[in-house]
Amino acid sequence: PLLIGLDGNGTLVSNGGIIEAPQLFVGRNPGSTGNVSLTGGSLTLSGELHVAAKSTGTLTLLGGGTIHS
């Protein structure tokens, strides 16, 4: 899985890129913070998407960014 903000702070910024992962966790464990910003491009997941499951997380799509699951 792709883990952004697992046990601390994490940020992923993609401008027109292609990201592929089985799962995405944005802000996973208590006390952590995750931020993902996707401008254009795409995010393709073969599994689950979790945002702020047990902590703080944001997922921002701008400029035609897409998510495929």
Do 8 and 57 form a contact (C-beta atoms < 8 A)? no
Cα gap 44→54, rounded to integer Å: 23
pLDDT computed for residue 51 by the predictor:
97
pLDDT computed for residue 55 by the predictor:
96
Do 32 and 5 form a contact (C-beta atoms < 8 A)? yes
pLDDT computed for residue 12 by the predictor:
97
pLDDT computed for residue 57 by the predictor:
98
Q: What does each of the 69 residues of the chain score in pLDDT, given as a tens digit?
A: 999 999 999 999 999 999 999 999 999 999 999 999 999 999 999 999 999 989 999 999 999 999 999
pTM score: 0.92
